[in-house]
């Protein structure tokens, strides 16, 4: 491929050096979105709860966790358990990412063969987490009082340690953990958040309702899920 003027002469690579070429003024941000460089903002990271309905086949959890580690998705917690449909399980993930990052999390999850459907929960979703706290047993009455305050239960009480269980949304659990610090927390185990969409909305799109008879009776009071306000 030679120049047009004289096809027989070879000139090697030709052309204007980089600084003499025209360059467009536009720019993209790190997410590949065209932006006004003047008004560029740091991409906002947010916490999202993503639910995935999966075939409960061997290795599904390692496929999901492997995906998160190799794509460097920031994951805060992951819970998994069977559903009422034989062979299905629900995985609930809390991720901290930018909007495009959360979009990728959902799409990459959906590509895994055992994953049937993926949904991001709305802010008003019903969320809960369970924590087990083992504290020093020197002040059983005070431990009991705080446990009551957080609607918790005492699971084990001995001369040296007391173990209690608290359930609730993330901020309630965080508060409870803070409150128990005064007794000296010996051990702690948190399950991570699990969540369902509120009301009629399916938790993951296209999700079939559970077969007849497997759904519990509607609770008589909407307060079955107590809205806990952090103080």
Give yes or no for residue 219 binding other proteins (CB under 8 A): no
Cβ closer to other proteins: 104 or 154? 104
Q: What HEC string does 128-180 produce?
A: EEEEEEEEECCCHHHHHHHHHHCCCEEEEECCCEEEEEEEECHHHHHHHHHHH
Give yes or no for residue 10 binding other proteins (CB under 8 A): yes
Cβ(179)–Cβ(135) under 8 Å?
A: no
According to CB under 8 A, which one of 108, 161, 167, 201 is a site residue for other proteins?
108
Distance CA(202)–CA(122), nearest Å, equals 11
Cβ closer to other proteins: 18 or 159? 18
According to CB under 8 A, which one of 46, 47, 113, 181 is a site residue for other proteins?
113
Cβ closer to other proteins: 2 or 182? 2
Distance CA(191)–CA(117), nearest Å, equals 23
What is the x/- site pattern for other proteins, positions 13-52, by CB under 8 A? xxxxxx--xxxxxxxxxxxxxx------------------
What is the x/- site pattern for other proteins, positions 45-84, by CB under 8 A? -------------xx--xx--x---x--------------
Torsion of CA 71, 90, 118, 66, to 10 degrees: 10
């Amino acid at each position: 491929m030679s120049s047009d003027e004289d096809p027989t002469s070879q000139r090697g690579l030709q052309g204007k050096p980089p600084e003499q070429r025209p360059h467009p003024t536009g720019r993209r941000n790190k997410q590949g979105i065209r932006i006004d460089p003047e008004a560029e903002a740091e991409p906002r990271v947010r916490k999202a709860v993503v639910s995935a309905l999966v075939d409960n086949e061997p290795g599904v959890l390692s496929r999901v966790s492997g995906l998160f580690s190799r794509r460097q998705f920031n994951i805060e917690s992951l819970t998994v358990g069977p559903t009422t449909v034989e062979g299905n399980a629900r995985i609930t993930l809390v991720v901290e990412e930018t909007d495009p990052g959360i979009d990728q999390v959902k799409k990459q999850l959906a590509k895994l063969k055992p994953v049937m459907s993926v949904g991001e929960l709305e802010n008003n979703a019903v969320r809960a987490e369970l924590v087990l706290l083992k504290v020093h047993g020197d002040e059983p009455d005070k431990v009991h009082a705080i446990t009551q305050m957080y609607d918790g239960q005492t699971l084990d009480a001995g001369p040296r340690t007391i173990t209690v269980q608290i359930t609730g949304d993330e901020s309630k659990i965080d508060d409870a953990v803070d409150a128990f610090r005064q007794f000296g927390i010996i051990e702690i185990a948190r399950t991570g958040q699990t969540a369902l969409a509120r009301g009629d909305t399916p938790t993951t799109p296209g999700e079939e309702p559970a077969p007849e008879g497997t759904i519990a009776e509607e609770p008589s009071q909407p307060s079955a899920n107590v809205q806990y306000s952090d103080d």
